[in-house]
Amino acid sequence: MKFLEKDLEDIIMRTDPYDLGLRGFFIPDNRRRQVGIGAYGIADIVGWERRKRIKGDLIFDGRLGELHIHVYELKKDVINVDALLQGIGYCKGIQSYIRDHRGFNYRIMFSLHLVGSSIDLSTTLSYMPDLIKINNEFNVRFTMYKYEFDGIHFEEIGGYKLSDEGFVNKKR
């Protein structure tokens, strides 16, 4: 049997988020699959969490709170630069829809989750999770999956760097 991207999506959508968490994959309870985002395309999975903003002892109305959106771009095999750019496009489309077309007054934060069985290490793509963290409003995460005899397992990865960075240690 060949494992397809749709199979990965089915597993994520049909499994309880708590059970996914036990296997290393974290996703909000609120989530939808195959989300159309206008001309920006169709995202595999979009999840969201709405949080109320707390200032001192005051809790502001949820409309003035934070909206954390998780965009999941799934690849059955390798995660590459195209997957990153595709996911960034989805985030921009969602941001535009919420702010310009719905008029919601949320602080919007995005987590772009690129999920695959491996990552393209021939480019600088692997450095992105360590570098793209903009004011806690946008971050990129890589999650690798393995489908084994006892089911699927996930691991969030990062911290890549060159094995030989070419620096010469000189003491001053």
Given a cut of 50, whether residue 8 has pLDDT beyond it is yes
Give the Cα separation of 170 and 63 in Å (integer). Answer: 55
> How far are the Cα atoms of 20, 167 from residue 170, in angstroms, in the given order?
47, 9
pLDDT at residue 58, as a whole number: 43
Average pLDDT over residues 135-146: 86
Structural domains present in the chain: 5-53+60-157 (3.40.1350.10)
Task: Record the pTM.
Answer: 0.83
Give the Cα separation of 114 and 142 in Å (integer). Answer: 5
Give the Cα separation of 99 and 103 in Å (integer). Answer: 5
- Identify the residue with better confidence: 34 or 122: 34
Give the Cα separation of 96 and 7 in Å (integer). Answer: 30
Q: Which residue has the tokens 């195209």?
A: 82
Q: 21-55 burial, b if ≥16 CB within 10 A, otherwise e?
A: eeeebebeeebebebebeebeebbbbbbeeeeeee
Cα end-to-end distance, the chain, whole Å:
60
The DSSP code for 57 is T
Give the Cα separation of 3 and 95 in Å (integer). Answer: 32
Residue 92 is inside which H or E element, if any?
A: helix 81-96
In this predicted model, what pLDDT tens digit does every residue of 83-138 receive, in sequence order?
Answer: 999 999 999 999 999 888 777 767 788 999 999 999 988 888 888 777 776 566 88
Name the least confident of 57-66, 123-132, 134-143.
Answer: 57-66
Give the Cα separation of 138 and 24 in Å (integer). Answer: 21
